[in-house]
Amino acid sequence: MSQRVLITAGAGGIGQAIAKAYLAAGARVHISDINPEALEAMKRQYPDLGTTVGDVSKANEVEALFRDVQTHLGGLDVLVNNAGIAGATSPVADYPVKTWMDVMNVNLTGTFLVTQHAIPMLTQSAAGSIVVMSSLAGRFGYANRVAYSTSKWGLVGFTKTLALELGPLGITANSIHPGAVDGPRVQSVLEGRAKLSGRSVQEEYDSALANQSIKHFVDADDIAALVLFLTGPHGRSISGQMFPIDGDSKAAS
């Protein structure tokens, strides 16, 4: 029987790579996202894909999402908590309180709400799995990104608690900690840094990788492959663990 999979923020970036990997493996997949256009684009490419527009930080929209999941999938084997926002770039002394709350509402409360709704469905699965997308910033402090780092550290405690509570029910829970992911977004960031610093894009690239032993950014497809392994048949004894996938980074920057 093919896996039934829910991925939040599944219409772009890491979430999209994960969704495509599961679909390629023959899974039945439902994704949520706040971007309706991106969802429509994915639906055109994969007509059997289930989609829901929604904000994970809003309880009523999470309830609507799970009504859709029940209708489309009829159950759930895998939950990938991928939704999150970055927040502001600002020192703690000047960090906007509203932005702090927004980041916590999406990254922590949103993950809590989605997981809470998923647990009754996962308990009915013969091989339930939860993956929580943390970050490199969930292993190190991150100057000028206090809300993001705090929330990503919080997800580690959340995941380890899930592993303790749900392990006896046969459900695994693990967190993944990517570094900077290769693609248009990081390229745009490097170009912006170069304009401000007067250095070349290549110099900014080298600087960004200075804390890594492996000198390239993370491939989103590699993150997807790790998710599939952890939620597959060979991952049934792996739970409560943190999985860095960051080129052996020594700091968040």
Structure tokens at 182: 């290769």
| Residue 177 identity | H
Catalytic annotation, pick one of 95, 142, 148, 205 = 148
SS3 at position 12:
coil
Structure tokens at 84: 């999150």
Residue 179 φ then ψ, to 5°: -85, -160
Residue 61 φ then ψ, to 5°: -75, -30
Q: Is 148 a catalytic residue?
A: yes
User: For residue 190, what are the CA distances in angstroms to 146, 171, 193?
Assistant: 21, 40, 5
Contacts for 18-22: CB closer than 8 Å, 24+ residues apart: 18/80, 18/82, 18/223, 18/224, 18/227, 18/228, 19/49, 20/46, 20/224, 21/221, 21/224, 21/225, 21/227, 21/228, 22/78, 22/224, 22/228
User: In Å, how far from its chain's centre is CA 162?
Assistant: 16
Measured distance CA(247)–CA(253) in Å, rounded: 13
N-term to C-term CA, the chain: 43
DSSP-assigned letter for residue 4: E
Catalytic residues: 148
